[in-house]
Amino acid sequence: MDIKLFKNMWFLSLKGSFAIIFGILVLLLPDLTLLKLVSYFGIVAIISGLFILYITVAHRKEIRKKNWWLMEGIFDVIIGLSVWLVPDISKHVFIIILSVWIIITGDIQIFNSFQIRLNFSSWWILLINGSASLFLGTALLLFSFKGPWAVIVMMGIFVFMLGISSVILSYSQKNPSVD
């Protein structure tokens, strides 16, 4: 039976817009201090997680397999609060936190894409984004020794890519549904 995933996909478009703006800022202003970058990342992760949690809870009756959506939202908020509230400590482990966040988010997106694939024609966008996230998160973790500029560029690319795929996904189907 087809069940609507979300009545409105506006939240995904808004989340994507925030991510696109952040990604562009990171790529255009790579000289931002790492501390400011950590704080901005925390805010973006919190907003992303809150949007996911709000929609999942607001539409809990329409979404059968909501545990993975809830887990992604909670994880985003926890990571965002962690780096935003304690940026001085976070900046020392920021690359590791960022890499792990990207990898786990990619895993969850891949899992969610397979959960919705039978009834959501644009499921592959989530799959591609999750796969790219796994690749980028792993590369970031493995090549973090290349210096802070490389990390900043990789982060900007990831967040920009996440934003683009979120906006595309939000406009790709008028009546999205899940199993």
| Residue ranges per structural domain of the chain | 3-168
Q: What is the DSSP string of 44-97?
A: HHHHHHHHHHHHHHHTTTT-SS-HHHHHHHHHHHHHHHHHHH-HHHHHHHHHHH
Helical (H) or strand (E) element with 160:
helix 148-171
Dihedrals φ, ψ of 177, to 5°? -145, 160
List pLDDT tens digits, range 128-150.
888 988 988 888 888 776 666 77
**What's the pLDDT score for residue 152?**
75
Instruction: Give the distance, in angstroms, between the CA of residue 120 and the centroid of all CA atoms in the same chain.
Output: 19
Q: Given the structure tokens 């696109």, which residue do they identify?
A: 20
**What's the pLDDT score for residue 176?**
47
**Which range has the worst mean pLDDT, 43-47, 116-120, 123-127?**
116-120
Helical (H) or strand (E) element with 3:
strand 3-4
Q: What is the mean pLDDT of the chain?
A: 77
Q: What is the pTM of this model?
A: 0.62
